[in-house]
Amino acid sequence: MHKNVRRIEYDATHGPPGLRQFSSHLHQVIWPRNFKLKKLKKYDGKENPENWITLYEITVRSAAGDEHVMANYFPVVLDKAGHQWLLNLPEDSFDSWEELCQAFIDKFIATYEQPGKKYDLERIRDRKNEPLHDYIRCFSDMRLKIPKISHDKAISAFIKGLRFHEALRSKLLCKRPTTVAELLATAKNYADADDAEKLIREDVRGADQPPRQDDSHGRFDN
């Protein structure tokens, strides 16, 4: 046997070790010496399973593994959702990596977290009395889920969503940013200035009010 691989020997009385969902044929695996996968994120049900499987296969191949290695190591790289699916399948469900791979894709292709679309970004609106920073954060989070939206469309969606910050809306329409980074920098600067102005107004109102005679009951009232 080649010095770089090691074969697991089986006890014929008790059968091969491993998951009961794998056939005895699939359990016959030759492990590369010191086999270990590096920098592979476990599958958590949120990614496209086809894309994730492609990366998994490339990673195993780069570590000198074959399809039997892919199948037998597969439970190690699954998160909770994957374990629940795999361990609840009947005995001898899979006789090859191809069967296991296709069943995995069929299971998760309809439930994984799909990338957002332009329409999802256009649905985001600011709310009355909502801090502008909250709108900016919500918009930014959604944009990260839409990989191919252009700067111009993203900027248009942001401006369209401004219903209760007319001054910022007018400023962006008057001098329209050319990139999303420029847009967010302008919006954040405006939000910071707006927050500072509100604090000043609150301080002024507080100074005009007479002092309370008993301030013993505050944040930690019973």
- Tens-digit pLDDT profile for residues 139-163: 998 888 887 889 999 999 999 999 9
Instruction: List, by residue range, all CATH 1.10.1200 domains of the chain.
Output: 118-206
Region 56-61: what's the mean pLDDT?
Answer: 94
Contacts of 52 (CB under 8 A, 6+ apart): 43
DSSP letters for 23-42? -HHHH--EEETT----S-PP
Per the model's pLDDT, the better-predicted residue between 154 and 112 turns out to be 154
Q: Architecture of 118-206 per CATH? A: Orthogonal Bundle (1.10)
Q: Which of 14-18, 75-79, 186-190 shows the lowest mean pLDDT across its residues?
A: 14-18
Q: What is the pLDDT of residue 217?
A: 41
> Which residue type occupies 32?
P
Give alpha helix (H) positions in 109-212: 118-122, 132-144, 151-160, 166-174, 180-208
pLDDT tens-digit profile of 69-94?
Answer: 999 999 999 999 999 999 999 999 99
Structural contact between residues 182 and 138, judged by C-beta atoms closer than 8 angstroms: no
* Residue located via tokens 């329209």: 176
The predicted pLDDT at position 12 comes to: 34
User: How much is the mean pLDDT over the chain?
Assistant: 83
pLDDT given for residue 213 in this prediction = 53
